[in-house]
Homo-oligomer: A and B are copies of this chain.
């Protein structure tokens, strides 16, 4: 199944979901002021990304960094082609998201029971039951739904997660009626063979254009894994965070999601069709990093705007 899908997918444009304003900022220790979040989202919209996860309608106690998502959605000037999406944990979250005119909502569970319990205080089955009315009502309102599955390869508590456990959750999310699935490689430990096993299993259940790859760059494999998902399996939906913002709650000091600018460069250099300006992404992330008071983790952020030939002995 792999080869024809891969070759088919590679001729289609990459659709990039910028998750910096949500997955990035929610994992930063400092709260980014509402005004700065709005400026960040507006700057990202101008880079050419297809979708921006602009906030989360979750409990402000659980995730204080996202407590102003209602206001952020109200204040942003929207760019026509961009889809502004938000995380919703339950019906109350969905109501807020619909009131805020989110154009897509995302429910989230995991492939690991321990992770799900610790992350959202529910079993996987409970989380799915909770999503049922959310998906039904969102679709009735004409708002597409993404279903996130975290820990698709490794769990910080349970270790390696077999693909069949991921596929079980994936099929149940599809049965609920979600429009797309995002596979979250939460702790960044997976390598290409893990991604191949996962996608071999997942793509027996849905088409590659409904499957997003969401990875973290904790161990430096984010770009390699994303390229495998695209080149060998024809995935075209990818998540990334400007500047690699966000860190990892399971490895303090580590980098966050794969950096948007690094992934965009890698795709462009590999011949993919992608219309995102990576230099503008770096600029947008730099403004945020300055406010958060730490340097960016991405490779491109160290090169863009700083290159200059300085011929010394080198190999």
Q: Assign chain A's interface to a size class.
A: 35 or more
- Min distance, Cβ A21 to any Cβ of chain B, angstroms: 14
What's the least CB distance linking A168 to chain B, in Å? 18
- Which of chain B's residues have a CB closer than 8 A to the CB of A259? 220
Question: Contacting A269 at CB < 8 Å: which of B191, B214, B307, B312?
Answer: B191
Contacts of A231 in B (CB 8 A): 192
CB atoms of B218 and A303 under 8 A apart: yes
- The residue on B at minimum CB distance from A224 is B224
Q: Which of B58, B218, B249 contacts A311 (CB 8 A)?
A: B249
A219 B310 Cβ-Cβ under 8 A: no
Stretch of A39-47, A70-78, A130-138, A294-302 with 4 or more beta carbons under 8 angstroms from chain B? A294-302
Contacts of A270 in B (CB 8 A): 191-193
On whether A150 and B120 interact (CB within 8 A), knowing A189-B269, A251-B307, the answer reads no
* Complex contacts, A62 vs chain B, CB 8 Å: 313
Contact B303 A219 (CB under 8 A): yes
Q: Which of A8-61 contact B (CB under 8 A)?
A: 23, 26-27, 58
Chain B hits for A250, CB < 8 A: 307-310, 314
Question: Among residues 89 to 136 in chain A, which have CB atoms less than 8 Å away from a CB atom of chain B?
Answer: 108, 118-120
In the complex, per-residue mask of A207-224: 1 if CB is within 8 Å of any chain B CB, else 0: 000000010011111011
Give the CA-CA distance A307 to B313 in the complex, in Å. 38
A-B pairs with beta carbons under 8 Å apart, 18 shown? A23-B314, A26-B313, A119-B311, A150-B314, A150-B315, A186-B315, A193-B270, A219-B299, A221-B266, A224-B266, A250-B310, A251-B302, A251-B303, A251-B306, A251-B307, A252-B307, A253-B302, A254-B306
How far does the alpha carbon of A186 sit from the alpha carbon of B314 in the complex, in Å? 8
**Nearest chain B CB to A258 CB, angstrom units:** 9
Q: Are A314 and B220 touching (Cβ within 8 A)? A: no
- A148, B26: Cβ atoms closer than 8 Å: no
Give per-residue flags for A260-282: 1 if the beta carbon is below 8 A from chain B beta carbons, else 0.
00100110011100000000000
Chain B residues whose C-beta falls within 8 Å of the C-beta of A217 in the assembled complex: 299
A65 → B minimal CB distance (Å): 10
The minimal Cβ–Cβ distance linking A214 to chain B, given in whole angstroms, is 7
